[in-house]
Amino acid sequence: MFDDFMAKVAEALEKIRLTQKAAIEEAGRFVAETIKKDGMVRPMGTGHSHLVATEMYQRAGGLACVSPLMEGNLMMHEGGRKSGALERLPGYAAAILAYNDVESRDLLLIISQSGRNAVPVETAIEGKRRGMKTVAITSLAHSKSVLSRAPSALRLFEVADVVIDNCSPIGDACVELPGLNDSVAPLSTITGVFIWHQIEIAAVSALLAEGLKPPVFVSGNAPGGEARNLEIYMKYKNRVRF
């Protein structure tokens, strides 16, 4: 059983490597261009998808110009049923973007396993209306198997400028066990984090190739880490909620 999950994770990551490279590299170019314009990367996800957005934020070895759209009502610490209900609420996304003062030079990176609910779909729609580029990390298998819950009847993959398939199955869980009709062990957090760091690597590589130094955090728990990060904190202190 231990090996079953390992095999499913490895299979999904290999599928991403083989099928999503072009989309990941394009997203990396979007991130690099955003940094060159002094814009911010604005990730958001509802429910468990916000875990991927959180992974991008203030991370050792991660880009500093990441300011997540952290809406507490849509995150799990405020209650799973509450998040699940509110992510279906039309109009909520526009309020979130307005409250967070997003700009056209910023990049929206939207994470949603199903890609069907109003908030992620309308985040992409509203972001594009504001002139923002949009990147989606979603399960195409899952999303194509369901109808949209957004008033537009669109799913996230039908809206975003760049769509990256997280290669997670319908329903997310991937391990079948004897005596249980439903699978266990979801994949989308693991694959979503993997995809983001591949995007990040592509973006940093593109900037370095142009002779530019990207704003990357080091660990604050490593020797000299806090001092090295202080300059970055000062640069972004009015734009990121450190």
CA angle 43-166-100, nearest 5°?
A: 10
For residue 134, give the nearest of 209, 225, 48, 30 by alpha carbon: 30
Structure confidence at residue 12 (pLDDT): 98
Residue 57 contacts residue 241 (beta carbons within 8 Å) = no
pLDDT tens per residue, range 96-155: 999 999 999 999 999 999 999 999 999 999 999 999 999 999 999 999 999 999 999 999
Containing 138, the helix (H) or strand (E) segment is strand 133-138
Token digits for 205?
């590589």
Q: Examine the pLDDT at 84 and tell me if it is beyond 80.
A: yes
What percent of the chain lies above the pLDDT cut of 70? 100
Q: Examine the pLDDT at 241 and tell me if it is beyond 90.
A: no
pLDDT tens per residue, range 22-80: 999 999 999 999 999 999 999 999 999 999 999 999 999 999 999 999 999 999 888 99
| Residues contacting 81, CB < 8 A, separation 6+ | none
Q: How confident is the model at residue 1 (pLDDT cuts 50, 70, 90)?
A: confident
For the chain, domains (ranges, CATH) are 2-25+35-50+68-196 (3.40.50.10490)
DSSP letter string over 41-87?
Answer: EEEEESGGGHHHHHHTSS-TTSBS-B-----GGGSGGG-HHHHHHHT
**Angle between helix 21-36 and helix 2-19 axes, rounded to 10 deg:** 70
Give the mean pLDDT of 3-28: 98
pLDDT tens per residue, range 201-237: 999 999 999 999 999 999 999 999 999 999 999 999 8
Structure confidence at residue 203 (pLDDT): 99
Structure confidence at residue 58 (pLDDT): 94
- Residue 23 CA to residue 138 CA, distance in Å, equals 12
Q: Examine the pLDDT at 6 and tell me if it is beyond 90.
A: yes
Structure confidence at residue 2 (pLDDT): 82
Structure confidence at residue 109 (pLDDT): 99
| Residues contacting 126, CB < 8 A, separation 6+ | 93, 94, 97
